[in-house]
Structure 1
Amino acid sequence: METATPVKRRVPRPRADALRNRERIVAAAREMFVEFGPDVPFDEIARRAGVGNATVYRNFPDRDALAREVVCSVMDRTSEWIESALGEGADAFQALSDFVHFAADERIGALCPMLSEAFDQHHPDLFAASERTMELVGALMRRAREAGQLRPDVESGDLMVAVSQLTRPLPGTACQGIDRFVHRHLQLFLDGLRAPARSVLPGVAATVEDLRTA
């Protein structure tokens, strides 16, 4: 008896409008998390995204799922930017400086309060995005260090702590005016990273592993 060949079912592709809605939700959530903190109501996110509440919940069943997508989307864009910078082969320290200013515009500092103890920081998507980003940040710093442009006593952890602290806005619309100072203060920090070092740093360099175990 001849065996029938099993028929493979086609997995339906998301509709273009569904993908656009998802992107609008993530963009709106990112803006509102920065402005008001991670507890902003889903209703307000839906309103800013121009979609209904049901559309938000259909894409993201809970706050953790939405927060994770926001964090991953920012890290993915950051990784893509660094890969492009490394591929261009421009001045090593200039590329590092450009990355720091890019990170400020991506509001990386605003993501830290979202990563609370209740947040699943070991989720596979989040872990993969984080690993990729930090490996590329490390490559960017190694390139500047090997070129003799970056002081040797700093590590990736030092860079990310400083960027997070200097770019983290205070929740509330009244505090948004501080944005105009961010790039100025970041440039002061970057000048301190240049080799040769003009001072001895206290303590030890912070690695990525130090940040994970802190």
Structure 2
Amino acid sequence: MTTTRVVRVAAFGCLAVMLVVLGAALRPLMFTEQAAPAEILSDNEIGFVHDMVAHHQQALFIAQRLNTNVDPAVSRLAQQIDDSQRTEIGMMLGWLRLVNVTPGSRTPMEWMHTASNSTDLAAHHGVVTSDATRGQASMPGMATMAELDSLTSATGVDAEVLFLQLMERHHRGGIVMAQAADELLADGPVKQSARDMITTQSQESGLMALMLAQRGAQPLG
């Protein structure tokens, strides 16, 4: 073997060793070992969305049980609420599908009572409900089946007043939930959605209180 060939073989050998060493050094940067998937939604986000779907669904029931023979202004408000909350339900169900959570599979309001190092956000926001008075454990603003049945059978001004009272109280409960979510969440689309709900439902709640006053009635406690 000539001297030139020996040098060439040695050079290729050194190059091969260098490539092996370099490859080993770069491997952690190029191929991560089954990195854990990024969290799509936090537990608090999932809890809020899960409960708000159920809360919105009852708003649809309230709107749908309003007698059609009422003041057109009340009918338009009921339709407006139905349309907006139906759209929000679709958005929230999409979020739940992303994390494989089935509606109705979680304890209502658990996120609000257990979040933030045992700080009771429900008490902070004045949520005081019971199974006996609401029929829904710790779900603020929810109507009972008896109240919904009364709305179904009501007509005329009585229907208008009862609808406005039930929906106004329901909105106040939704605002409480959205405010708690706004406090708990740092950022993201769920937090923004909660803020949008606070704005929209506060405006509608104020309008319903005014419409009740025009009919000589007051919001429910």
TM-score by length of 1: 0.28
Structure showing greater Rg: 2
TM-score by length of 2: 0.28
